[in-house]
Amino acid sequence: MIIYLRVLRESLSFALNALINNKLRTFLSLLGVTIGIFSIIAVLAAVDSLKKEIEGSISSLDNSTIFLGRFSFGPTEVPQWKRAQFPDVTYEEYQMVKRQVPDIKGVSYQLNVQRETVKYEDKSVENVEMIAVTHEQTDIEELKLSEGRFFNESESARGATVIVIGHEIAKSLFGSPTSAMGKKLRVYGRKLTVIGVMKKEGSGLFGDSKDTATFWPVNLARKIFGDNNQNTFPFILIKPEKGVDNEEFIALLTAKLRIHRGLKSEEVDTFFVNQLQGFSDAIDNMTGTMNTIGGVISLFSLLVGGFGIANIMFVSVKERTNLIGIQKSLGAKNKFILLQFLFEAMILAVIGGLIGLFFVFLGSVIASQFTGDFEFILSPMNMLIGTAISAFIGLISGIIPAYSASRLNPVDAIRTGF
């Protein structure tokens, strides 16, 4: 063990001397490794950050949540012209699902309508997301309120003029969430009473989350827009009970809706059952593909860096041939010489990798300052991967030069110095 520690110490000393005495040569040799590690880890960090942001935007929903509507979340074999003829899901179908489909923890009818300007006296907030839902939305989605409450079943059924608003809306119109309670907002030509304010979430990759959104009774939206308005997009959200077999549940749900719509056995479904788990899997596949593509491209930089390390090691062997001969004449074994140069190559490569990691860290800090609440993540795992790849590149690049050094004849090696 002592001899290996001495080899490591001497190799580090040789590597540092090479860095100091041959600055330009070392810089050019390590540049490829630095760029390669920077590229790979930057891609991994960016993809991890993107994945976390996407997952964070849907984290309030369980993966088992089902979206029932006339649109598909993913690829489908149904042609576009046929999908265009599919009818929207209706409030009556929501009631049927609620009555007839067992093992449901929560079911909500949601109507996506056009964004609107919300006004209070002389103040207003534009481009507000108006999410019209039934009262069961809280059974499906985790909605955290800082003030007040969500509307109840009675208010939902009769389409009461109440509204739950986002944190930024409350701040813009009233100065604070507390001041918003009981105030009447003017929207769609009607006055809606604020009964709740949601907790601040912060802006995300896809917009302003729920901070600039509102929740209001879907039956009030139906009174305003009607059930056949082409500018609305209705769908049914369903959250099955835990432990329920998803395939059986979806099969039963599909059968019930087919019967309700009077579809014959030879007719295709005129609706889509979209599960959030499928969306999560699609995200995983997408990020995996991005990692692969970025990794392959970055490997070319690492290849160049590997050749640079190999080149500097061949030069180092040639410069120290006389010293190698002296070491071997004093009893140094081939293994000692081999490990000495392998350690040196790995140390040089790791130094290049650490420089690349530093630039990724610096870039992530700078980028996070310009992207609001979107945070670029340089995880410990990615740092470990970068360091391991650097060491591996150094090992591969140093094998041939180290082997050639270990096989030198001591007499011939000593003569080279004279």
- The list of the chain residues with pLDDT below 70 reads 1-8, 10-19, 22, 25, 49-63, 202-208, 277-288, 290-291, 294-295, 297-298, 301, 319-321, 323-324, 327-332, 368-375, 408-418
Burial status of residue 44 (CB atoms within 10 A of its CB: 0-12, 13-18, 19 or more)? buried
226 with 297, same domain: the answer is no
**Residue 155 counted as domain residue:** yes
**Residue 95 counted as domain residue:** yes
Please report the pLDDT score of residue 211 as a whole number.
83
DSSP summary character for residue 63: T
Please report the pLDDT score of residue 95 as a whole number.
93
Residue that the structure tokens 């309670």 belong to: 181
Domain that holds residue 286: 2-57+282-416
258 with 293, same domain: the answer is no
**Residue 80 counted as domain residue:** no
Of 270, 297, 331, the last residue of a domain is 270
**Residue 277 counted as domain residue:** no
131 with 233, same domain: the answer is yes
Please report the pLDDT score of residue 219 as a whole number.
93
Task: Note whether 194 and 165 are within 8 A (CB).
Answer: yes
What are 109-127's pLDDT values in tens digits? 999 888 888 998 888 888 8
Please report the pLDDT score of residue 207 as a whole number.
47
255 with 226, same domain: the answer is yes
**Residue 255 counted as domain residue:** yes
DSSP class per residue in 195-257: EEEEPP---BTTB-TTTTEEEEEHHHHHHHH-SS-TT-EEEEEEEEPTT--HHHHHHHHHHHH
| 54 closest CA partner among 209, 262, 266 | 209
Of 235, 250, 270, the last residue of a domain is 270
Of 247, 270, 293, the last residue of a domain is 270
DSSP summary character for residue 71: S
Please report the pLDDT score of residue 15 as a whole number.
58
Please report the pLDDT score of residue 204 as a whole number.
53
pTM for the predicted model, two decimal places? 0.60
238 with 359, same domain: the answer is no
317 with 362, same domain: the answer is yes
What are 62-109's pLDDT values in tens digits? 667 888 988 887 777 888 888 888 888 999 999 999 999 998 888 999
Q: At what angle do helices 23-57 and 2-21 cross, to 10 degrees?
A: 100
**Residue 69 counted as domain residue:** no
How many Cα neighbours within 13 Å face the side chain of 7? 20
Determine the Cα–Cα distance for residues 200 and 235; give it in Å rounded to an integer: 26
**Residue 332 counted as domain residue:** yes
**Residue 105 counted as domain residue:** yes
241 with 303, same domain: the answer is no
Please report the pLDDT score of residue 140 as a whole number.
85
Q: How many folded domains does the chain comprise?
A: 2
